[in-house]
Amino acid sequence: MNTTKNYRCPLFTTLIGCLLLCLSETANAQDQPLTGIRLNGSYEGSFTDVLNRISREQNVRFIFEKEKTDKYKIQDFMENKLLTDFLDYWCLLFDLKYEIASDGLIKIKDLETIKMEEDELKKVEEARKRKYSGPATSLNISVSGKVTDMATGESLPFGAVVVKGTRNGTSTNVDGLFTVQNVPSDTSTLVVSYTGYSVVYLKLNPFLNRQSLDIELQPYAQLLQEINVTAQREDVLKANENISTIRMNPQSLSKMPNLGERDIMRAFQLMPGISAANESSSGLYVRGGTPDQNLIVYDGFTIYHVDHLYGFFSAFNANAVKDVRLYKGGYESRFGGRLSSVMEITGKDGNANKFSAGGSLSLLSINGYIETPVGKKITTLFAFRRSWKGPLYKKIFNLYNSSNTNTGQTNQGPGGGFGPNAGGGPDFTNTVKSYFYDLNGKITFRPTQDDVLSLSVFNGTDDLNNSQELSGGGFSGFGGQGVSFNSTTSDVTTYGNTGLSLKWSRQWTKKLYSYTLVSQSKYFSDRNRSTESSSTFQGPQGGAEQAFGGIIENNNLVDQSAQLNLAHQTSGNLELSGGLFFTQYDITYNYGTSDTTTLIDRKNNGKLMGTYVQGKIKLLDQQLLLTPGLRVSSFEPTGNVYYEPRLSVQYDLTERIKITAASGRYYQFANRVIREDILAGSRDFWVLSDGSSVKVSESTHFIAGLNYETRSKLFSIEAYRKNYTNLSEYTLRFESDLRSGTYYNENFYTGMAYAQGVEFLAQQKIGQVQGWASYTLSEVKNKFDVYGTSYYPAAQDVRHEFKFVILYNVKRWNFSVTYIYATGRPYTAPLGGYQLTLLDGATRDYVAVGEKNAFRLPHYERLDASISFELRNKNGNNIGNIAASVFNILNRKNVWYKEFQMSEGNVVETDINYLGITPNVSLTLNF
């Protein structure tokens, strides 16, 4: 026993010794634990050199990217300093990060590399999850998430999210959020689409967080051409989303011919039911309605004026706009205050991923924008556009002003006249200082995943100056007397719109969403046209005469509003919404002569408040969609309550055939009234209804439609009827006489009207060749008792209108052609003039006016074309384009309006034409 015991102890000791020796060798190999390594000495040079020195001295291994550590310089004196403290300090200073692996290896990476690796791992994990091919684990589920732009991180409002193979689906809200209920299983496929973006098919699986899906869509502009050819494309518009609704993608409008640059309003004029025969107005004439009967909402505040440069250009900068929807009629109860249509514009929030900027230069204006994130929760966007006096601006300005400048005529008598033989002609000096600009700004703050705060600002202004001087001397006439004269005409018009809104939206639960908004909108229009002239007569009966004349016209509107909106997705077949609204109006209009005689002086203010409720109900296995609603308004100036019931119906007869119908009542409290002036031209101004001279106008809509749609084509037909009552007009035809007790303020008249028509649309949606053809047959008639007891054609009555649009894409080239034909619009003409001698011996001229709108202008016809070439960077991404377009290729002399002058009781008629052939070029760059 003892022998054995003595033998085993030395063996055990030997084994323990060997083990300790191995551990000691390992420790020597590592010197000591990395957390305990201390540095001594002066270290100076590039970060790369210092790391290599430490590696040699301390037997430590580093991994780093030499090209990134070379650029950093170090100067440090270390006395008994821990290696980890050294790395903590310098890595933090250089935006680097280090980690110690289990094998003692120290990895140093920059934050950008780390983020790229994390993103790559995330993509791999997402791909792994999406490749799941196992059985479903949950049935009849709900799915929620957000749809965004892959390039910018912008939320995409009003996009479609549908369960593949079913009619079950929903739309994203204004913040890009959605919830789809009654999804069959957690292996179903969602089809996510948005106009101008590639369609995403997202296959669900049990690993995905189906309550917080982040779905990114890629714009077609970012896709390679090979994908463009095969992918489904609806680049410019979507015309079959809901009844009488059109969606437009502002970023694709560069493919369309235009006067200056991308123009939202001009693009909508190419659709059926919207007149395109009005070059002098960017406002929309929708189904017989006038532009003031359209509600234009930009980020929640109302835009009352949409024109630049006399209406040849719209006030919306496409670089600041994310989404546009136009409801041509039968619109929902959440909208009110207009008789005809609603345009809902959503502004961009700004790039959430990186700084970006861009701009464009055309023959009309210069346009630039900047968008950038501030931290992780704030995005900003600023866009600015200003005209410059290039050839296109001058052409439009001169066209308008030459047609509105009264040159005057002098009747020549025996023995004298104005002419070369009389000693010389007049000398004109025209000083033009005119321009327009618009500014957009938006700041968006997302404090949590469920809250969004945004501040949006808009301003668009035109300053038009057509002042001129006329002088002459040395004339002989008027019985041989010499005449010298001088005339100064001041003609300055300034108009524009300013808007501001602050919105807070919140997703309280997956089913409950709300947004609260306060806003202010201001419209102003100031015109001062005055003439001062003096004449000096030489000779035996010489002397001097002075004359003054002109008009002053001012119109100002202030709209201060607040609203609260709630939406609750009660179930997959029922969605309820409602809200409260309040508006304070303050509108003034002053019209008079420059000698301080006031003809019209209106100052009105009042409060409008109310509530609305609406439901979306799906029946018959979701084949039938009912949208009933009710809007109730209380209007202070009249003291009345106004009820507006509305209902729309959509029935999917088959997967391709859809039947639609809608009806509703609509009231308008702020009206833009036409001031008819046969000789000087009609103008318009905003007034607030008071229940007496200007009544609250009303319309009732009846709409029915039939649509046939496949993946590549759409055919639709819609018929409509709109009845109007309590329309207002102001006319100078029945001239007021202050001496007889009749005042200009009493020249408001009330009437009624109806508009009816049928619209046809055929659209090719995908492929290299896209486009559409449309035809509208319509009739618009008014009835004002002051003009007679019968209905007569309204000024916006266009009986036939045909439009044809072709978009062709080949590689990086885009070609487009548009053609418009429309029958002539009605107008009123004077038949002659006469002169009466009053009782006091004075004489007075009178004009005999023909029947209201009894004549029609010649038909309107225009052909436009454009070509653009996409610019791409070395990675193949689109960074802009070079474009050229030609407006009115046929150089047709389309008549704008008729100008009349009276000469010895006779009517002299002159055609004032729209623009002739007009080329344009532009360059757009995005960074």
What are 822-860's pLDDT values in tens digits?
999 999 888 777 666 666 666 666 677 888 899 999 999
Structure tokens at 81: 């300093």
Does pLDDT of 403 surpass 60?
Answer: no
Give the C-alpha separation, 293 to 233, whole Å: 33
Does pLDDT of 424 surpass 60?
Answer: no
Does pLDDT of 641 surpass 70?
Answer: yes
Residue 923's DSSP bridge partners are: 361, 882
How many CA within 13 A on the CB side of residue 727? 23
Contacts of 178 (CB under 8 A, 6+ apart): 144, 145, 146, 147, 159, 161, 170, 171, 172
| Total Cβ atoms within 10 A of residue 546 | 8
- Residue that wins the pLDDT comparison between 256 and 443: 443
Residue 228: per-residue pLDDT: 37
List, for residues 126-173, the tens digit of each pLDDT value. 666 667 778 888 999 999 999 999 889 999 999 999 999 888 999 999
* Residue 760, CA distances (Å) to 246, 596, 772, 800 in order: 14, 53, 10, 12
Does pLDDT of 394 surpass 60?
Answer: yes
Give the C-alpha separation, 300 to 334, whole Å: 12
Residue 821: per-residue pLDDT: 96
| Least confident window among 230-234, 395-399, 440-444 | 230-234
Give the C-alpha separation, 316 to 326, whole Å: 15
Does pLDDT of 413 surpass 50?
Answer: no
List, for residues 872-884, the tens digit of each pLDDT value. 888 778 888 898 9
| Least confident window among 139-153, 596-610, 640-654 | 596-610
Strand duo 62-63 + 106-110: pairing: parallel
Give the C-alpha separation, 840 to 226, whole Å: 86
Give the C-alpha separation, 792 to 780, whole Å: 9
Residue 232: per-residue pLDDT: 47
Across 883-906, b (16+ Cβ under 10 Å) vs e yields bebbbbbeebebbbbbbbebeeee
The mean pLDDT value for 323-346 works out to 94
| Total Cβ atoms within 10 A of residue 234 | 23
The kind and range of the H/E element at 900 are: strand 895-903
DSSP state of 338: -
Question: Tokens 């301003």 appear where?
Answer: 459
* Residue 424, CA distances (Å) to 408, 438, 471, 483 in order: 17, 45, 11, 11
Chain mean pLDDT for the chain: 82
* Residue 216, CA distances (Å) to 37, 152, 195, 453 in order: 48, 10, 14, 22
Residue 493: per-residue pLDDT: 86
Nearest to 487 by CA among 408, 576, 372, 376: 408
Strand duo 96-100 + 435-445: pairing: unpaired
DSSP line for 3-14 = HHHHHHHHHHHH
Q: Give yes or no for a contact between 318 and 251, defined as CB atoms under 8 angstroms apart.
A: yes
Residue 26: per-residue pLDDT: 41
Does pLDDT of 261 surpass 80?
Answer: no
| Total Cβ atoms within 10 A of residue 312 | 26
DSSP line for 687-751 = EE--SSSSPPEEEEEEEEEEEEE-SSEEEEEEEEEEEEEEEEEEESSS---GGGT--GGG-EEEE
List, for residues 748-779, the tens digit of each pLDDT value. 889 999 999 999 999 998 888 889 999 999 99
Side chain identity at 193, as an amino acid letter? S
Does pLDDT of 200 surpass 80?
Answer: yes
List, for residues 532-550, the tens digit of each pLDDT value. 666 665 555 555 666 566 7
| Total Cβ atoms within 10 A of residue 211 | 12
Give the C-alpha separation, 379 to 354, whole Å: 10
Residue 482: per-residue pLDDT: 58
Side chain identity at 129, as an amino acid letter? K
Give, in degrees to the nearest 5, the angle at Cα 632 between 628 and 635.
155
Give the C-alpha separation, 143 to 140, whole Å: 10
CA 454 to chain CA centroid, nearest Å? 17
pTM for the predicted model, two decimal places = 0.80
Residue 678: per-residue pLDDT: 56
Give the C-alpha separation, 694 to 96, whole Å: 71
Contacts of 79 (CB under 8 A, 6+ apart): 40
Residue 181: per-residue pLDDT: 92
DSSP state of 155: B
SS3 904: coil
Q: How confident is the model at residue 746 (pLDDT cuts 50, 70, 90)?
A: low
The mean pLDDT value for 647-655 works out to 94
DSSP line for 244-287 = TEEEE-GGGGGGS--SSS--HHHHHTTSTTB----TT--S--BT
* Residue 118, CA distances (Å) to 98, 107, 114, 125, 147 in order: 15, 15, 6, 10, 22
* Residue 136, CA distances (Å) to 7, 133, 164, 168 in order: 68, 9, 16, 19
Structure tokens at 711: 């993946």
Q: How confident is the model at residue 918 (pLDDT cuts 50, 70, 90)?
A: confident
Question: For a pLDDT cut of 90, what percent of the chain falls above it?
Answer: 43
CA 99 to chain CA centroid, nearest Å? 50
Give the C-alpha separation, 775 to 819, whole Å: 12
Side chain identity at 567, as an amino acid letter? A
Question: For a pLDDT cut of 70, what percent of the chain falls above it?
Answer: 80
Q: How confident is the model at residue 243 (pLDDT cuts 50, 70, 90)?
A: confident
